Structure 1
């Protein structure tokens, strides 16, 4: 595999992992978003990654969570219905945080590949200058 090919693959990985990180940040930021029972709950986003034939990776799509969410009894909440229920999103914070670590590590690995390729190019250029 050539150096330019590894850069191209790392670039596709950076894009996919950035999208994954963005969707996780959005999910975590909205984990406590409460709506009335007459509205849909916040729908979490899940990135669907797809391997490319050339070795890279693409975002194939974004799957959304259940708009039904979870009904929570909270009669004191201003959005509560006549029975005292509100709708919370169905966001599992432990899963989101685990995925966040995986997405960060994947992004960091792609950055390291890019840095290594740059170091290799700089070394080759310095040899050519000598």
Structure 2
């Protein structure tokens, strides 16, 4: 149950990251350095010690995507730089939707694992009576 719980927590972080990315997908700025960069969670396995099997997963950090910002020539835009360019976030909506779907399916799988573990635990308790 702990492994499934850690997976659910990790997928929740992943879903929140996707939500943040989608909310900022259309943002623009006057330079590539100022623009919102897509966030990506980094997951790591949890081990009790060096010899043990993985006991779960954690989101150890959230990093910025290295994909470049999109430069758009728009000299009349109020945020345009001296060369007439504005910069659009590097969030790829299609990738975000795919990531959201994957995270949702993983979360649902973890829920099913928890349900099965609970049923096995209840059957074990009944068998001991």
Does TM, normalized by the shorter one, top 0.5?
A: yes
**Higher strand fraction (1 or 2):** 2
**Under TM normalisation by the shorter chain, which class is it?**
0.7 to 0.9
Q: Answer yes or no: is the 8 Å Cα contact 1:40–1:67 preserved in 2.
A: no
**Higher helix fraction (1 or 2):** 1
Could you say what the CA RMSD is over the residues aligned between the two structures, in angstroms? 2.2
Any idea what the Cα deviations from partners look like across 1:35-64, whole Å, max 9, x if unmatched?
122861101110111112253111121111
Which runs of 5 or more structure 1 residues have no equivalent in the other structure? 1-6
Q: Does 1:120 align with 2:114?
A: no
Q: Give the total of aligned pairs.
A: 123
- In structure 2, the partner of 1:12 is 6
TM-score, normalised with respect to structure 1: 0.80
* Larger CA deviation: 57-66 vs 36-45: 36-45
- In structure 2, the partner of 1:87 is 87
Q: Answer yes or no: is the 8 Å Cα contact 1:41–1:68 preserved in 2.
A: no
Shift of 1:84: 2.2
Structure 1 residues 38 and 107: alpha-carbon distance in aligned structure 2, compared to 1, 3 A threshold? closer
TM-score, normalised with respect to structure 2: 0.80
Which runs of 5 or more structure 2 residues have no equivalent in the other structure? 48-52
- Secondary structure of the residue that 1:96 maps to in structure 2? helix
Q: Does 1:23 align with 2:14?
A: no
- In structure 2, the partner of 1:4 is none
Alignment of 1:14-53 (within 5 A): 14-37=8-31, 40-53=34-47
Q: Answer yes or no: is the 8 Å Cα contact 1:9–1:57 preserved in 2.
A: yes
Any idea what the Cα deviations from partners look like across 1:103-127, whole Å, max 9, x if unmatched?
1111111111122223334445566
* Larger CA deviation: 75-84 vs 22-31: 75-84
